Amino acid sequence: MSVVTTLLLMFAFAGGPSATTTAPTETKPEFAEFDLESYKGKVVVTQLVASWCGACRTTVPALNRWTTTYADKGVEVVRVSKEKASLIRRLVSRDKFAGKTLTDPRGELHAAANVTAFPTWIVFDRNGDAAFVDAGAGWMVDKVEDAIKKAVGTTPSK
């Protein structure tokens, strides 16, 4: 028996492809890519984050509150990272954010927002225009909420 025949037999008995094997199906990415068009007519609160960002973690309670408080007003709250899936997965499991975590694989949103610090916030109005862009945690939460209220047509706090 030749070496080639032996290898072919070993491959066949080891569960290798057979005449009935189908081609592998294409898998979807683990995290959906941020696409502003898919939020047409909604206010989108976007937090650009990084898995290593401790300040980003401190804002999760506010993000979760906004996710429920403003849902009936057409507000979507999302976090967007340009990191690889394994780091985003760690971010999602650690932070317990109730909304969607999306990806920006080419860094286009990050570049457009001129990100120099995390978290960076963008509040898009119902027309898809950036109504608010700024960076920071803690004290920034009130400013972001004021921008949300303004975008949905309620009175911001003083």
What pLDDT does 4 receive? Answer: 37
pLDDT, tens digit, 9 for 90 and up, residues 107-145: 999 999 999 999 999 999 999 999 999 999 988 999 999
pLDDT, tens digit, 9 for 90 and up, residues 61-82: 999 999 999 999 999 999 999 9
What pLDDT does 158 receive? Answer: 55
CATH number for the domain that contains residue 138: 3.40.30.10
The average confidence (pLDDT) of the chain is 84
Q: How many domains does the chain contain in total?
A: 1
Residue 112 placed within a domain: yes
Residue among 151, 115, 149 nearest 135 (CA): 115
Residue 81 placed within a domain: yes
Residue 66 placed within a domain: yes
What pLDDT does 31 receive? Answer: 83
Which residues, in sequence order, are bridge partners of residue 75? 43
Name the residue range of residue 138's domain. Answer: 41-152
- 89 C-beta neighbours (distance < 10 Å), count: 15
